[in-house]
């Protein structure tokens, strides 16, 4: 499962850096879990990593839909099969604030 935060008042999913809900301005947040399986919506291959980034290029940054309306950004692990539109993916961990995924079906 993938841990995230949401507003207690209006149930809006919050970004990791949010201190106030953008929808209702509440400061009350709670942790909740998202499913670890999803569908690949988009990706881009980074061929030159930014200076100081610990991942060796090339690597794929992905947008994954975990549940209807809930999308997260992450990275494919090096051992993953190549990405394809709509492929099934699974979260396999977390590294330096980044969700890690692997393509499980093509």
For position 1, what pLDDT does the model report? Answer: 67
Record the pTM: 0.79
Q: Please report, in tens digits, the pLDDT of each residue of the chain (106 residues total).
A: 677 889 999 999 888 778 999 999 999 999 988 889 999 999 999 999 888 887 889 999 999 999 777 899 999 999 999 999 999 999 999 888 789 999 997 5
Give the residue range(s) of CATH 2.40.50.840 domains in the chain: 35-103
| Architecture of domain 35-103 in this structure | Beta Barrel (2.40)
What ranges make up the beta strands (E) of 9-106? 13-14, 29-34, 37-46, 59-67, 70-76, 88-95, 98-103
């Amino acid at each position: 499962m993938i841990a995230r935060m949401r507003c207690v008042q209006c149930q809006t999913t919050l970004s990791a850096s949010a201190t106030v809900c953008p929808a209702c301005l509440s400061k009350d947040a709670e942790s909740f879990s998202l499913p670890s399986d999803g569908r690949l919506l988009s990706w881009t291959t980074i061929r030159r990593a930014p200076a100081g980034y610990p991942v060796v290029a090339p690597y794929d940054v992905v947008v994954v839909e975990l549940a209807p309306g809930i999308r997260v950004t992450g990275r494919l692990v090096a051992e993953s099969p190549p990405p394809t539109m709509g492929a099934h993916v699974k979260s396999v961990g977390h590294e330096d604030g980044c969700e890690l995924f692997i393509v499980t079906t093509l």
